[in-house]
Structure 1
């Protein structure tokens, strides 16, 4: 999965696999979370958000199951 570097204080990069609907977020604490069954629209909204971390907490973290890679 390709991840895209983002300009955020705690998130380094964000990636998405359209086939498996998996969203991957790499944090500066050297942890990667994989979120499952995430729509492409949600990934696009996250990438377009002016405050990525705020969008992440309000729309991803609280709604999707995740695992730590």
Structure 2
């Protein structure tokens, strides 16, 4: 999965697999989380958000199951 570098306080990069509907977020704390069953619309909303960390906490963190890679 390709991740896109973002300019955010705690997030380094964000990627999305359209086939598997998996959102991948790389954090500055050297952790990578994969979130499952995330829609393409949610990925686009996250990428367009002016404050990605805020959007992540409000719309991704507690809404989707995830695993640490």
Structure 1 partner of 2:53 = 53
Give me the TM-score of the superposition, normalised by structure 1.
Answer: 0.99
What is the number of residues matched between the two proteins?
69
Could you state the TM-score of these two structures normalised by the residue count of structure 2? Answer: 0.99
Per-residue deviation, 1:62 = 1.0
| Structure 2: tracts of 5 or more residues without a match | none
User: How big is each residue's C-alpha offset from its partner over 1:15-55, in whole Å with a ceiling of 9 and x where there is no partner?
Assistant: 00000000000000110000000000000000000100000
Provide the rounded CA distance (Å) in 2 between the counterparts of 1:55 and 1:29.
18
Aligned-CA RMSD value: 0.3
Equivalent position SS for 1:53: helix
